[in-house]
Structure 1
């Protein structure tokens, strides 16, 4: 399966999950403050770029789910393991992470970014977040390295 197919699959799963949650709880849909979504998105990017594991983990709950092309992480322990690996791939002071775009629509946050390390260049990366009550409840990630693009 190609990386593009994985990205489309992950985005489809996220949209289906959001749609199902909205339909199931249509009488209980909480009010959404886009400013809170923006605050969480900004905090998440800042702490991720700084390799701040505890800062990143503060954005999640035990019910959070992170979907990547290779693995689905459920709960704090699994998500923590993902970020430990990510920080090894993007070591602080040795990596350049660039936020190209950030969009907030109600409870949905979207970022487009790229990164350069000594070992590889991530030429395209994207995350989509569902943020409720100041926490990331669902997230998808997809990315393409320069080597994969060739």
Structure 2
């Protein structure tokens, strides 16, 4: 988990290196499988980040049990709550789930 979080500061190539061609990210909108799709997902995510996001990023809960890692986080006022769950096998993320709830705007 720490390696994956550190990869955000290193850029897109470092993020994608945590996955394999068989890896999948499960989202509310569907499932992305393979390196090309995962690269596109992170490319869009990184492009969408507004100034102040990383300063606001706070981990609420982090747990690792065997091959499974869980992260609950926020980045207010941008993201009210988000969760990631990762199944890691042989040092690579095999399956990841991701859900984020945007901050309500008055």
TM-score after normalising by structure 1:
0.64
2-side partners of 1:84 and 1:98: how far apart?
Answer: 21
Partner of 1:67: 26
2-side partners of 1:121 and 1:51: how far apart?
Answer: 22
Partner of 2:90: 133
Equivalent of 1:100 in 35, 47, 60: 60
2-side partners of 1:99 and 1:45: how far apart?
Answer: 11
**RMSD of aligned alpha carbons:** 1.8
Partner of 2:72: 112
Looking at CA atoms only, which structure, 1 or 2, has the larger radius of gyration? 1
The structure with more strand, counted as a fraction of residues: 2
The structure with more helix, counted as a fraction of residues: 1
Residue 51 of structure 1: how far off its partner (Å): 6.1
TM-score after normalising by structure 2:
0.88
| Kept after mapping to 2: 8 A contact 1:108/1:129 | yes
After TM superposition, the runs of 4+ consecutive aligned structure 1 residues lying more than 6 A away are none
Aligned positions, number: 104
Partner of 1:30: none
Partner of 1:13: none
Q: Any gaps of 5 or more consecutive residues in structure 2? A: none
Equivalent of 1:142 in 88, 91, 99: 99
SS of the residue corresponding to residue 29 of structure 2 reads coil
Superposed CA offset, 1:47-82 (max 9, x none): 22x261111111000000001111211000000000
2-side partners of 1:107 and 1:123: how far apart?
Answer: 27
Equivalent of 2:17 in 58, 74, 86: 58
Q: Any gaps of 5 or more consecutive residues in structure 1? A: 1-40
